[in-house]
Each structure stands twice: as structure tokens, then as C-alpha cells.
């Protein structure tokens, strides 16, 4: 009998360790582990605390907590992998079951190597560049002890007063979907268990960018039609690309806050799309349900959020304080707790954290800012910059211009160029505009610098020096823009104009009569109504990141031919908001403001080059097809100039008559190609009716209707028909 017992125990020991057996399947390991967990251990897995300095002043951090080894996740704000490994060691060795912690962080557009803000990256219209930037970010995160980034942010922009338009990929739904997929691929690679790959997090699910009036954290009235047509496609694409997690938003979605919305979090995300990872709430957004008036206390907030489908609670401790009691009271079934824990464990197993809980500790100099990564950052910065205006070819700067006045508060700046959510980026690593110009224009051009004014305020004392610099120079490069804190989270502004002091500086320089190149660094579309007329050329450089100075200098000198095109429309004035390219057709064409031009200043897709591209005839392989057939659309683009360049072609579809009114046009494909001087490139788009002509109704039902359609490139449109 003793022999049998010892054999059984040995076997039991073997079975006991199943979840630790790397040869077992992930699902087997999960199902072995969950029954071993106590309710407290399960609930702790559903909690995220923070560790390290809190850089976000809007997130009032509770005191640094003594990390419990059973905690599910930490927001990790150290760059030291050893520190993370020490904490992880506690989890692996001091807890009863040895469940690893998942460490998260906001690497939104880079970790230490800071890339342009996502709004700018979208202006490259190059998904491969975005994928590569996320791949670099993932490596730097991984080597710092971060397993999970709260990125990509894919909230389709609708109101530039909202500071967070800086964090997403612009105003188009298809573009946000395409870049979401690229980001997930960049972060997650081929396998989450591989080194240098990290879990992605699609955020802020969903409709957050409709926060009323652009006021952050406010109510968002999201109709069913808008939800499905505009805001769901990027999330559906990101989930289909395998995004491990999502983050529920702060916003109240038409009466049901995103962090307590069963329809979006469970009905759609889990049941309809089959997402098998987990959802983390935004910072304290579970507790915020009380402020939003849908929970009377923390317990009800925890109940509503959990039962809606939020698996992990970010930093407000509502779950850890209330879920055990809710289970004991029979309000929350243990089976639901188990399913939530299952999803969190699944991501941890897929990340390989059970088998490889520690990251390599390599010297900091080998972790960050590799020359290849900086070169990529410079390329993306350059390709994200948009030449908005270039009268009489004022740019590129001609060799005859031997004296350049370099004026403005952005010239020496190394902080604001990184933009909001700069991760662990450091000003000391930033190529400033002045640095970039010095290197680019070398000794044979005189740079005459004057700050002119601060970013805001009323002090005009610097104007005289700025005017003097202008008078001495052949032309003026005027660098104006926004501070990083004026966009990003809680960066909403009632005006999208630059502060008056900056406009007055420009007026003062304009009076000198010298040609002005206006260079803008900002995190949102700006009101350029007054400045546009004073500038001979306008270059939008956004917040270009670590290599911004080098990139802008390359464009100004002509070494780089600008290729960026706007990912978001610039309204003439804040009064035109909402103003985006694919609005619905009005009942009557004259229904615009009577006191201002009906057009915006610059539409999505606008962007000039130093060369001229000539678009040939838009050709279709057929004009009439059945629903299950495809049409090949084709157009030739010729580079008529003497400079090589890159040209992004944006393909739009219009559906002039349908059972549900359709936007005036919708982006359905884009592609960027290099075109040699005097060369030609062919661009093709295979129109797949099921993918490109269908639309979702307010209930998320997909429709493909027969009838007339148009395919459009620039201003050329060609009609075709779908027949039953």
C-alpha cells in the first residue's frame, strides 16, 4: 500500500506541476492552474498597480504600494530590467503558485528612441514604417522589463480641440485600421513568446474621440451607425491581427460608459469577434463610473465593470476590494471570475512569462538609441512632415541664400519636439532644430538666431531682435508651435490657433518684407487662417521625436523631398469643427457657415512635393460586375521633375445611393511608392466588393448592395456598377 501511495504522490506531484510544464498546451496549463487558485489569488490577478514615478499629472497616483507577489500586473516606470526581475522573482518564488506579473507601460510612439506622434506617422501613409517603429519600440521596452504597451491608440479623430488626436492615426477609419494592424504586428511580431516582442493594447475602446466638444473624459454620443461605420473597424482589424489586449475608455458611450458597456466589451468583442485576450480599464475608469452616475459606490462600480467584460482593473483597487464579497454574495459567479483569470493567464502564457519570467540585462548603451533605430526615426520623421504651401518654390532653400534668420520658440527646443507620451525619451537625446540646421547647412551659411517670443504670454521684447535678424537675412525660417502639454491626455483647448504672441511675432517678421518659411510643430490641426497668408511656404513637422531636427533640416535644404500627406483635415477655424473629409452629403449644398469659406484650410490627403506628379487616367478592368467578382483599378503616376520622390496614392470609394446614407467618399486603400525623376509608377487597387463596397448598419449588420459606385483618386472619379 505504501508503495502505491508513494507512487500516487509522485504522480500527483507530476500532475500538480502541469501548469509549470512547458510541454503542455497553454489551455491545459490554464485549466490546471485555475482550480488551484484561491478567490483572493484570482482577484489579485485582475488588478494592476503602478511602480515608479508617475509622469502623468492627471493620474493622481496612490502611494507607492508594497507590491504583493500575487499581483497580476504593474505599470512599470523604471528603465532598469534588474528592478523588474527582482519584483518578478518575488512573484515567482514568494507567492504560493508562482504566477508571473505582466509589466505594462505607455510606449505610444517609442520608448527611448522617440518616433513622431502617431498622428504624424499616419502622414507617411506607409504601414511598413509604422510597423518598424513599433518593432523598435517593442525591443527597447522588452529590454527594459516591459512586456506590454498601452498602444496603439486608434481613436478616429473627430475634433482637433481634443488633445488626444495627437495619439491616434488621424480622421480616417480605414487608415486607423491599417495602422492598428501594422502596430500590432510590430509590437507582437510572429510570436509573443519571442524575445523583443510585447503585447499590444488597442485603445481606448470605444468612441472616446467623440468626447463632447473635444473636452476630454466627457460624454460621447455615439450613434449605432457611427459606432459601426467609423469606430469599430480599427478595433475589428486590430483584434483580427491578434492584439492581445484592449483598454476600455473613460468616455460615456451614449449613456453606458465604455468601462461598463456589455454590448461593446462582451457582445461584440468576445461573442461576435471571439477576442480571447483581456480588457484592462483605463486609469481609474472603473471607479469613475460613480462620477459618471451609473454606480452608487465602488462596489456597484466593480460589479458593473466586471460583469460588462473588463477583466483587469487599472490602479483604483475596486476589484480587489469588492469582487471577493460580490462572489460570496452570489452576485458574481465564480465561473465569470475564472473566465476573466483565464484570459489574463492566457496572455501571460502566450508571452512566455511562466517559462521565461526574466528579461536579459544588457548594458544600457546597447539597449537604446541604436544608430539603425535613430536612422529609422529620422526617416519616419522626414516622411511624416507635410509641405502645406510652397509659393514660387520658396523651398527648398537655394544655395544662394547665404544668411538665414532662424526665429521662434521651437528652434532650441528639445522637449516639445517629442510630443505627448514621450515614453522614456530624454531631451538630451533630441536633435533640436538648431542642431539639425547647423549640421545641414554647415559653415557656408550664416544662421542668425533669435527666439522672438515664448510659446505664449504677452512679452514682445524679443520682437526687435527677431526683426533685426530677419533684416540681416536673405530669408526667414520661423519655427512656431505647441508645447507638448497642449495636446495628449487632458490637452483639450477651446481654440486651435497658436497663442496670439506667436501670431504677433509672425506679423512683426512679415513687416520686414523678407520671405518667410513657417515651420509648425504641433500635436493637432492648427487654425492657420491668419498665418497662411503671411507665409510663402508652410511646413508641418508635427512633433517629430528624437530625430526631428535632422529631419526638418534635410527637407528645408532639399536633401529630402517631402512626401507627407495630411492624415487629418485642418479646419479654417475652430468654428468649422466638426470638419472631416468623409462627412455625409448635406440635404442642400448651401448649408454652410455664411461668414466663412465652406472649405477647410487643408483637407486630409493634402501635401506638396518639390517635384510634380502627374496622374494618368484612372482605368478599371470592368465597369459592371457581380458581387462576387472583383475590379482592378489602375493609375499611372509620373514624376515630372528632376528630383526623385515618394508619392502616396489614396484610393476612395463613393456609394452615391444606398439604403443607408453613405459618407461623401471613404478611403479604402493607400500605397506609397518611390518614383525616380522623370520616372513612372503604376498603382493598382483590386476592388473587392465584399471588403470595399459593403457597409455596416447601426446594428453591425454588413450590407453589400448593387448599384452605382465610384472609385476616386485625387479629383478623378470613375463610375462602375455592381449587379445582383
From the list 172, 216, 282, 316, the catalytic residue is: 282
Rank residues 52 and 558 by Cβ distance to ligand GLC and give the closer one: 52
Least gap, CB of 183 to ligand GLC (angstroms): 14
Alpha-carbon torsion angle 460, 465, 470, 473, nearest 10: -160
Rank residues 155 and 413 by Cβ distance to ligand GLC and give the closer one: 155
How far from the centroid of its chain's Cα atoms is residue 427's Cα?
21
Rank residues 260 and 526 by Cβ distance to ligand GLC and give the closer one: 260
- From residue 442 to residue 461, the character string flagging contacts with ligand GLC as x (rule: CB under 6 A) and all else as - is --------------------
Least gap, CB of 148 to ligand GLC (angstroms): 11
What's the CA gap between 5 and 641, in Å, rounded? 86
What's the CA gap between 483 and 495, in Å, rounded? 14
Residue (of 271, 308, 304) closest to 289 by Cα position: 304
Q: Binding to ligand GLC (CB under 6 A): which residues in 481-520?
A: 489
Rank residues 164 and 467 by Cβ distance to ligand GLC and give the closer one: 164
Closest-by-Cβ residue to ligand GLC is 150
Q: Binding to ligand GLC (CB under 6 A): which residues in 177-206?
A: 203
Q: Which residue in the set 111, 115, 148, 150 belongs to the binding site for ligand GLC (CB under 6 A)?
A: 150
What's the CA gap between 601 and 612, in Å, rounded? 21
Q: Which three cell numbers stand for residue 572?
A: 479654417
The contacts of residue 592 (CB under 8 Å, 6+ apart) are 598
Angle at 140 between CA 137 and CA 142, to 5 degrees: 105
By CB under 6 A, residue 343 contacts ligand GLC = no
For the question of residue 595 being annotated catalytic, the response is: no
Least gap, CB of 50 to ligand GLC (angstroms): 8
Please, what is the end-to-end C-alpha distance for the chain in angstroms?
Answer: 77
Q: With the C-alpha atoms ordered 616, 618, 620, 624, is the resulting torsion angle positive or negative?
A: negative
What's the CA gap between 308 and 100, in Å, rounded? 26
Least gap, CB of 489 to ligand GLC (angstroms): 5
Least gap, CB of 154 to ligand GLC (angstroms): 12
CB 52 within 8 A of CB 84: no
Rank residues 172 and 282 by Cβ distance to ligand GLC and give the closer one: 282
550 sits in which H/E element = helix 548-557
Least gap, CB of 105 to ligand GLC (angstroms): 8
Task: Give 617-632 as a DSSP string.
Answer: --EES-SEEETT--EE
Rank residues 251 and 483 by Cβ distance to ligand GLC and give the closer one: 251
Least gap, CB of 151 to ligand GLC (angstroms): 8
Rank residues 56 and 266 by Cβ distance to ligand GLC and give the closer one: 56
Instruction: State how far the alpha carbon of 421 is from the alpha carbons of 149, 150, 155, 431, 545, in Å.
Output: 12, 11, 16, 18, 11
Rank residues 150 and 235 by Cβ distance to ligand GLC and give the closer one: 150
Rank residues 317 and 489 by Cβ distance to ligand GLC and give the closer one: 489
Least gap, CB of 107 to ligand GLC (angstroms): 10
Task: Give 593-622 as a DSSP string.
Answer: -TTS-SS-SB-TT--B-SS-EEE---EES-
CB 687 within 8 A of CB 693: yes
Alpha helix stretches (DSSP H) within 111-163? 118-121, 127-142
Query: With helix as H, strand as E and coil as C, how does 376-423 read?
Result: HHHHHHHHHCEEEEEHHHCCCCCCCCCEEEEECCCCCCCCHHHCCCCC
Q: Which residue in the set 41, 61, 70, 106 belongs to the binding site for ligand GLC (CB under 6 A)?
A: 106
Q: In what order do the strands lie in the sheet with 403-407?
A: 386-390, 537-540, 516-521, 475-481, 403-407, 446-450
Q: Binding to ligand GLC (CB under 6 A): which residues in 6-65?
A: 56, 59
Least gap, CB of 578 to ligand GLC (angstroms): 22
Q: What is the DSSP letter of 568?
A: S
What's the CA gap between 125 and 407, in Å, rounded? 30
Q: Which residue in the set 19, 162, 283, 441 belongs to the binding site for ligand GLC (CB under 6 A)?
A: 283
Rank residues 46 and 637 by Cβ distance to ligand GLC and give the closer one: 46
> How many residues in the chain?
724
Least gap, CB of 112 to ligand GLC (angstroms): 17
161 sits in which H/E element = none
Rank residues 140 and 527 by Cβ distance to ligand GLC and give the closer one: 140
Q: Which residue in the set 282, 311, 316, 378 belongs to the binding site for ligand GLC (CB under 6 A)?
A: 282
Residue (of 251, 246, 147, 260) closest to 193 by Cα position: 147
Least gap, CB of 211 to ligand GLC (angstroms): 11
Q: How many residues bind ligand GLC (CB under 6 A)?
A: 8
Query: With helix as H, strand as E and coil as C, how does 104-123 read?
Result: EECCCCECCCECCCHHHHHH
Q: What residues are annotated to the active site?
A: 282
Q: Give me the residues that bind ligand GLC (CB under 6 A), please.
A: 56, 59, 106, 150, 203, 282-283, 489
Amino acid at each position: 500500500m505504501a508503495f502505491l501511495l508513494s507512487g500516487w504522490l509522485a504522480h500527483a506531484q507530476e500532475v500538480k506541476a502541469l501548469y509549470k510544464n512547458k510541454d503542455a498546451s497553454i489551455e491545459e496549463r490554464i485549466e490546471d492552474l485555475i482550480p488551484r487558485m484561491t478567490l483572493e489569488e484570482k482577484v489579485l490577478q485582475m488588478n494592476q498597480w503602478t511602480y515608479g514615478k508617475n509622469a502623468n499629472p492627471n493620474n493622481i497616483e496612490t502611494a507607492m504600494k508594497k507590491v504583493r507577489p500575487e499581483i497580476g500586473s504593474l505599470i512599470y516606470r523604471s528603465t532598469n530590467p534588474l528592478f523588474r526581475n527582482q519584483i518578478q522573482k518575488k512573484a515567482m518564488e514568494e507567492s504560493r503558485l508562482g504566477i508571473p506579473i505582466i509589466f505594462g507601460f505607455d510606449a505610444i510612439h517609442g520608448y527611448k528612441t522617440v518616433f513622431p506622434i502617431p498622428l504624424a506617422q499616419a502622414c507617411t501613409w506607409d504601414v511598413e514604417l509604422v510597423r518598424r517603429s513599433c518593432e523598435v519600440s517593442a525591443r527597447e521596452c522588452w529590454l527594459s522589463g516591459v512586456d506590454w504597451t498601452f498602444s496603439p491608440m486608434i481613436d478616429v479623430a473627430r475634433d482637433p480641440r481634443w488633445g488626444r488626436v495627437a495619439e491616434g492615426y488621424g480622421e480616417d477609419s480605414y487608415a486607423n485600421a491599417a495602422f492598428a494592424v501594422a502596430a500590432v504586428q510590430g509590437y507582437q511580431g510572429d510570436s509573443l513568446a519571442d524575445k523583443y516582442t510585447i503585447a499590444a493594447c488597442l485603445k481606448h475602446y470605444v468612441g472616446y474621440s467623440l468626447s463632447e466638444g473635444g473636452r476630454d473624459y466627457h460624454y460621447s454620443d455615439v450613434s449605432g451607425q457611427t459606432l459601426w461605420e467609423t469606430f469599430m473597424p480599427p478595433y475589428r482589424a486590430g483584434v483580427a491581427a491578434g492584439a492581445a489586449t484592449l483598454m476600455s475608455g473613460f468616455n460615456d458611450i451614449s449613456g453606458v460608459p465604455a468601462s461598463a458597456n456589455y454590448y461593446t466589451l462582451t457582445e461584440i468583442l468576445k461573442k461576435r469577434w471571439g477576442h480571447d485576450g483581456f480588457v484592462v480599464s483605463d486609469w481609474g475608469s472603473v471607479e469613475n463610473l460613480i462620477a459618471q452616475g451609473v454606480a452608487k459606490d465602488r462596489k456597484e462600480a466593480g460589479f458593473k465593470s466586471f460583469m460588462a467584460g473588463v477583466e483587469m482593473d487599472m490602479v483604483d483597487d475596486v476589484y480587489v476590494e469588492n469582487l471577493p464579497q460580490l462572489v460570496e454574495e452570489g452576485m458574481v459567479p465564480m465561473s465569470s471570475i475564472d473566465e476573466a483569470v483565464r484570459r489574463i493567464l492566457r496572455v501571460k502564457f502566450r508571452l512566455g512569462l511562466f517559462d521565461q519570467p526574466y528579461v536579459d540585462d544588457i548594458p544600457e548603451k546597447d539597449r537604446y538609441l541604436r544608430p539603425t533605430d535613430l536612422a529609422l526615426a529620422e526617416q519616419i520623421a522626414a516622411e511624416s512632415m507635410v509641405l502645406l504651401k510652397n509659393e514660387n518654390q520658396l523651398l527648398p532653400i537655394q544655395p544662394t541664400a547665404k544668411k538665414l534668420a532662424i526665429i521662434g520658440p521651437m528652434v532650441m527646443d528639445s522637449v516639445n519636439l517629442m510630443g505627448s507620451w514621450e515614453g522614456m525619451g530624454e531631451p538630451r537625446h533630441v536633435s533640436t532644430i538648431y542642431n539639425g540646421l547647423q549640421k545641414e547647412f554647415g559653415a557656408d551659411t550664416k544662421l542668425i538666431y533669435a527666439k522672438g517670443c515664448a510659446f505664449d504670454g504677452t512679452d514682445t521684447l524679443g520682437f526687435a531682435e527677431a526683426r533685426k535678424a530677419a533684416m540681416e537675412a536673405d530669408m526667414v525660417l520661423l519655427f512656431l508651435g505647441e508645447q507638448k502639454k497642449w495636446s495628449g491626455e487632458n490637452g483639450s483647448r477651446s481654440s486651435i490657433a497658436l497663442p496670439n504672441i506667436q501670431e504677433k511675432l509672425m506679423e512683426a517678421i512679415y513687416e520686414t518684407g523678407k520671405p518667410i518659411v513657417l515651420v509648425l510643430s504641433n500635436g493637432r490641426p492648427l487654425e492657420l487662417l491668419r498665418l497662411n497668408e503671411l507665409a510663402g511656404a508652410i511646413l508641418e513637422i508635427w512633433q517629430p521625436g528624437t530625430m526631428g531636427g535632422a529631419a526638418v533640416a534635410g527637407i528645408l535644404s532639399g536633401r529630402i523631398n517631402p512626401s507627407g500627406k495630411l492624415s487629418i483635415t485642418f479646419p479654417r477655424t475652430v468654428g468649422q469643427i466638426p470638419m472631416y473629409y468623409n462627412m455625409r452629403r448635406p440635404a442642400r449644398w448651401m448649408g454652410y457657415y455664411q461668414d466663412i469659406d465652406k472649405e477647410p484650410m487643408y483637407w486630409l490627403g493634402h501635401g506638396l512635393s518639390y517635384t510634380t506628379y502627374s496622374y494618368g487616367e484612372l482605368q478599371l478592368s470592368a465597369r459592371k460586375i457581380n458581387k462576387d467578382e472583383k475590379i482592378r483599378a489602375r493609375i499611372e503616376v509620373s514624376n515630372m521633375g528632376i528630383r526623385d520622390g515618394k508619392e502616396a496614392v489614396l484610393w476612395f470609394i463613393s456609394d452615391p445611393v444606398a439604403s443607408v446614407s453613405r459618407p461623401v467618399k471613404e478611403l479604402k486603400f493607400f500605397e506609397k511608392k518611390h518614383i525616380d525623376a522623370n520616372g513612372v509608377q503604376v498603382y493598382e487597387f483590386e476592388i473587392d466588393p465584399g471588403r470595399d463596397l459593403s457597409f455596416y448598419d447601426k446594428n453591425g449588420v454588413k450590407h453589400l448592395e448593387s448599384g452605382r459606385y465610384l472609385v476616386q483618386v485625387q479629383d478623378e472619379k470613375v463610375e462602375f456598377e455592381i449587379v445582383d
